[in-house]
Structures are given as structure tokens and as C-alpha cells.
Structure 1
């Protein structure tokens, strides 16, 4: 049978090659989605899907004029995307160039993360004792370039002294969020989206709502120090974990930033833990 001949012509190597090909394509698509998640490009993709759906429906129902318009939008739209999103495409290529193939060894990366954790712990301890309000977001897989652009660019090495000085009241950068990207303070005084959840306690202020809001649209970890009580909180995946002790705060950061690559911690940190 001709249909069966198609399979007999395939060798085991061909099957393996096809499987690898499909997996690589899916991996590239996944990385692209994670790269643009939380940026303006997400809305662009939604618009493209709408145009494709309208184009298909116009063909089904014989709406020739509408179909022609949608086809022109698709034909010339990709050229417009390259022009409009030139900065985002440039950043994407830069991130690709800074990828795993060109990154430092895992041990060096862990040492740098541990230094950052120590700096953050020292800064948070200082601010919590003196009830200095703070909002600090750590970028992970999901891009946060849109939020970084709303603040004042710093591109500075992380240190406890710099973090403390940023959040000192009545200074130019204290109002807003600090965003950490690629182990550096990318920007300060950034605006984050406020959570619209009706289940947030009324005693929580704008900082906690912003921390929850950004955790609902990205996979970032956000640290909050309350100006009223000095309480330390962390948000992740749309959940708020309040009143953390300093030891627990440091352990959570270590598990999230270092433990995910290290085999020294075999048990995943229990976020809910003790209050």
C-alpha cells in the first residue's frame, strides 16, 4: 500500500531527527513566549490572532472586502512590527547573546546570587527596623522591560548601601519600585500594575497591591517592607506571604535564587510555612 510505503522509507534516525526537530521548535516558541510575557508584545500577539480569526471567518462567509483588508494587514503587518518594535527586538537579540552559552559557570553564578542575597537581607533588615517603606522586584524568566522603562535607569551593581539610600524617604528615587534584572539594579522609581483582586486586606497599602499586581502577570519575586509596621513580605505567583522573620526571608531567597540550580537543597521550600 502506498500509504504504508511512506513509513517503510523512514529509518530510526529519521524518526529521532523529526522528534528532536519538533522539540527544538517548541522550546524556541516557549522561550519567545516567556521573553515577551509582561511586555507590550503580548497585546500585539493578541491583535494578530484576532486578525487571523477574522480573516478565516471572512473566507468562510464570503466577505471578500473584509478578507482582502485582513490579508493586507497580515502581509504588511510584519514589516510594521519590525519597525515599531525595533528596540524590543534589539533587546531580545542582546539577551540571546548573553544566554547560557556565553554565561559564567554555575559556581560563579551561585556565588554572585549569594552576594546579592546578603546585600538584600542587610538592606531589608535595616529598613524593617527603621520602618522605611521599600518595594523591590526581582526579574526572572518573564521580561519586565516595560516596567523598567517607567522608572529611572541605574544599571548599577547591587549593594545594601545603595538599596537603603534609594528608599530613604523624601529622596528622588524612594517612591516606586526597584527592579533587579540580570543581577543588577536596572531602574528605580518604577511603576508596577496594581492588583485588582477584591480579596486583598484593606489594611494593605499601595506597595502590597503593586507587589501582588506584578506577581499576577509575571513570575517575578517581589519584596515589600511596610512603612507602617516594618513587616517584611514577599509575593510570588499572585500570592502574598506576610510577616516573615529575617531568617525566613533569607531562606526563601536562597531557595528561589540559588536552590533552583543547586543540588544541596533536596526539599522545596514550603512558602506557607510558619507565620
Structure 2
């Protein structure tokens, strides 16, 4: 029979279909990973779980609300995920959709830490104001787009040169991603916390503001005192020594290294927020 193998061809086609859809979903996850869209995806997952539980236990009102939320959620998703959708289409147009994404190893990360500490120590001693945000899981692409794109290799000399007073790029924040200076002169959201000390300036408020909406680490070098501070998870830790700054960066940026997770110093300094 000429069509006796049609069943097997159908199964083979279904397998190919599943593999292709799985791969596309995987690449989409890679695109939104490292952006604020990850948090929105988690929220949608919670809605789906609540919808399933409400249906299982017969909670009709809650099920109806969740159903309506999902029904009209497609338009909301398109609006909310607009930057990520645009970025994905740009990557597709450039042929980068099928490019692999590698994870940085500890050695280059350690070099980046050394460069950051060297530059911050240099600027602190000379009271050169600086604001440096280090991207982690939640992306900072939206904020990087407000500044000047650089995509330059991270070095202490370049970081210092950016923040030299009266230069075109010194005003604003520098955003780091992996071992790259992604952009400079960026605008960060100011914190609206009413309990912030009045003695703190715009740099500290911006560092706190971005730490309230992302998981990034932001380093501030005070122009008035030369003190180094760090914000993370809406907490501000002030007047850090070079050793304390190194310990924080190694603990956060080398999280895969067991030795780096053993803290030798506490965060120390004054705590605000």
C-alpha cells in the first residue's frame, strides 16, 4: 500500500512540530531573560495557577475574574511587552535569533570586579562623583536607551574617564552588563521613599530608585565626601571600605563560586531606607 506509512509520517511531523515550537519558546525566553519582562511573566504564571485552582475547587466568581483577565490579557501583554517584542523582532531581522547565549565565567567577572573597585577607589580619593549600575537578572536595557550607547570593554581607565567632571558623559549613570560598559549618561528613576535622609543627593536617590524596581547593584561615589555606597534591593549601605565593596561584589557577581559566598565582612556603614 502506498499510504501504509502515512501514520508514521504524521507522528514524525508532530515530533518536528513540537521540537520547533519548543525551540522558539526557548529562544523567546532567552530574549526576555535579563529584562523586567521576567517579573511580568511570573505574574501571569500566578494568574494561571489561581485560575486553575479556582476551577478545580469550584470557586466560580474567582474563576470568572481570572478567565476575563486572561481573555483580555493578550492586548495588555502586547502593550506591556512592547520593548521586548521590538527587541526580539530586531534580533530576528539581524539574524541573531538563532545565536547561542553563553554564560560568562568567573575569571572575566573577577577582572570586572577589580576594574570597578580600582576606578571607584580612585574617584573616591579625588572626590569625583560616579554612579554605576551593574545589570543582573532584571535587565536595564530601558534605562540604557536613555543614555549614550557604548558597548565598550570594561576597564578602570575608561570608567574613570567617563566620570571626569565637565566631560560630555560624566552626568548620569553608567550601566554595566557582563564585562561591557553598555551605556553612559543614563537616567535612572528617582526613589519616592519619603524616609530618605535629606543629606542624600540625586545620585543616591537614583541608585535607590533603580534598586526598588530591579535587582541590579548600584555603586555611588559621593562628590562631596568621596565615600562609596552601594544599593541593592531598595537598601542603601553607606561609607564602605574597599574591602567591604569587594566582598559585596564578589558575593553577588560570583554567586556560583562557593568560596565567594562566605562573607568576611558585614555590609557595615550606615543603613538607610
TM-score, normalised relative to structure 2: 0.68
C-alpha displacement at 1:86, in angstroms? 3.7
Q: Contact 1:35–1:92 (CA<8 Å) still a contact in 2?
A: no
Cα distance in 1, alignment partners of residues 261 and 117 from structure 2: 23
Q: Contact 1:138–1:221 (CA<8 Å) still a contact in 2?
A: yes
Q: State which of 220, 224, 228 in structure 2 corresponds to 1:228.
A: 224
C-alpha displacement at 1:74, in angstroms? 6.0
Q: State which of 111, 125, 133 in structure 2 corresponds to 1:115.
A: 111
Cα distance in 2, alignment partners of residues 257 and 230 from structure 1: 24
1:213 partnered with 2:209: yes
Q: Contact 2:217–2:230 (CA<8 Å) still a contact in 1?
A: yes
C-alpha displacement at 1:88, in angstroms? 2.7
C-alpha distance after superposition, 1:176-208 (max 9, x if no partner): 000001320000000000001011110000000
Cα distance in 2, alignment partners of residues 124 and 77 from structure 1: 42
Cα distance in 2, alignment partners of residues 180 and 116 from structure 1: 10
1:1-275 matches, within 5 Å, as 35-37=34-36, 86-90=85-89, 97-99=99-101, 102-103=102-103, 109-258=105-254, 260-265=255-260, 267-268=262-263, 271-273=266-268
C-alpha displacement at 1:249, in angstroms? 1.1
Cα distance in 1, alignment partners of residues 221 and 159 from structure 2: 12
C-alpha distance after superposition, 1:124-157 (max 9, x if no partner): 1110011000000000000111101000000000
Which consecutive unaligned segments of at least 5 residues does structure 1 have? 1-26, 62-66
Name the CA shift for 1:185/1:96 in 2 (closer, same or farther; >3 Å): farther
Moved over 3 A (4+): 27-36, 73-86, 90-99, 268-275
C-alpha displacement at 1:266, in angstroms? 5.1
Q: Contact 1:155–1:185 (CA<8 Å) still a contact in 2?
A: yes
C-alpha displacement at 1:267, in angstroms? 2.6
Name the CA shift for 1:88/1:125 in 2 (closer, same or farther; >3 Å): same
C-alpha displacement at 1:170, in angstroms? 0.6
How many residues matched? 224
C-alpha distance after superposition, 1:42-62 (max 9, x if no partner): 59x89xx8xxx9xx99xx79x
Cα distance in 2, alignment partners of residues 81 and 274 from structure 1: 39
Name the CA shift for 1:144/1:78 in 2 (closer, same or farther; >3 Å): closer
Which consecutive unaligned segments of at least 5 residues does structure 2 have? 1-25, 52-59
Name the CA shift for 1:35/1:203 in 2 (closer, same or farther; >3 Å): same
TM-score, normalised relative to structure 1: 0.68
Q: Contact 1:134–1:167 (CA<8 Å) still a contact in 2?
A: yes
